[in-house]
Amino acid sequence: MLQRILALIHKEFLALLKDPKSRIVLIVPPLIQLLVFGYAATFDLKQVPYAVYNEDRGLAARELLAHFDGSPSFHRIATLRSEGQVASLVDARRAMVVIHIGPTFSADLQLGRPAPVQVIIDGRNSNTAMIALNDVRSIINRFNDAQIEAGGLRGPPARLHMRAWFNPNLESRWFFIPGIIGMLTLVVTMLVTALTVAREREQGTFDQLLVTPLRPGEILVGKCVPGLVIGIVQATVILLVATLWFEVPFLGSLAAFYAGLCLFLLSAVGIGLLVSALSATQQQGLLGAFLFMVPAVILSGFATPIANMPRAVQLFTYLDPLRYFLVILRKTFLEGAGFAILADQFWPMALISLATMLAASWLFRHRMY
């Protein structure tokens, strides 16, 4: 029995390592993923863009702002003149944090009274918002310690009042669950389509399919539809669970959501068919699918902000359809977005799906020779 087991182990090693391409697949993807994870998967915040709305010209207000300006965690991008400028700045994602100092801040400190400081923070990404808020608290605490030491006060002279937009309670569930719709539909759609052509090649039935009257374009459509239908059904079920069970609010346009979903699924199906057309066996198709999916999730902004990644890595994210679909998901769920706001996210996915499907259609016939 032991001999048969050893013989089987030997055969499996031969099947994995005999083909030079399989050896490359076993070695190169882990190295690439290690580099991607090392650079992209970080929760550290650097140079958080913030704006200041300071109504107090006193010394204490200037000292507090000097603490923010001197911190490596923050980068001031605007000094506001009125409260009306705050909304447009946060809506456009130009500023993640707005520091508002009232007109009596310095006077209150001199009189020994509590001096409130308002911090308005973009809560659409609750994890990033919580990290930024902790950095703000650290700076306020350092300022308090300096004021206590200089003035001989008994308690903290400044108090922090926080208000998070789009996600008032900073529920991390509201941030992650919409993203899971994109991640799960990507995984299932890729696995369904990445094996379809490879399976037929492995069984020898794809040669027979090519000599039928069906043209490559017709074969492409026939291969796309099952993955598209499965993805739409799965996304609908997850959407219902997210809104009815987890009570994540869906404030945007349902039509815009499904339009983005269809374009995203066409992109995933195109990439899956391209991987399948390049694979000679199901094993290669499966490995090719995972080679794409893991970096696609990491580079999409699902868990870590794309803005924190190095510039060279950020350029790769433009080739990732999940990056655009996550924006659509979060904007339709939390911001109430419609077609007009999401138009910039639709056309890149349409281009990706068109390019990958044309390449897959061409490879259906030419990969045979």
pLDDT score of 153? 63
Distance, CA of 143 to CA of 155 (rounded, Å) = 12
| Kind and range of the H or E run holding 76 | strand 74-79
What are the domain boundaries of the chain? 1-41+171-368, 48-150
pLDDT score of 222? 78
pLDDT score of 345? 92
DSSP code of 54?
E
Query: Which residue shows structure tokens 């009570």?
Result: 247
Angle value at C-alpha 43, between 39 and 44, nearest 5 degrees: 85
What CATH number was assigned to the domain covering residues 48-150? Answer: 3.40.1710.10
- pLDDT < 50 regions, the chain: 369
Alpha-carbon Rg for the chain, nearest whole angstrom, is 27
pLDDT score of 289? 86
What 3-state DSSP class applies to 2?
helix
Residue among 158, 200, 141 at smallest CA distance from 368: 200
End-to-end Cα distance, the chain: 42
pLDDT score of 369? 45
pLDDT score of 13? 65
Angle value at C-alpha 40, between 248 and 271, nearest 5 degrees: 75
Decide the pairing of beta strands 158-165 and 115-122: parallel
The pLDDT tens digits of the residues spanning 195-212 come to: 777 777 777 777 776 777
pLDDT score of 157? 58
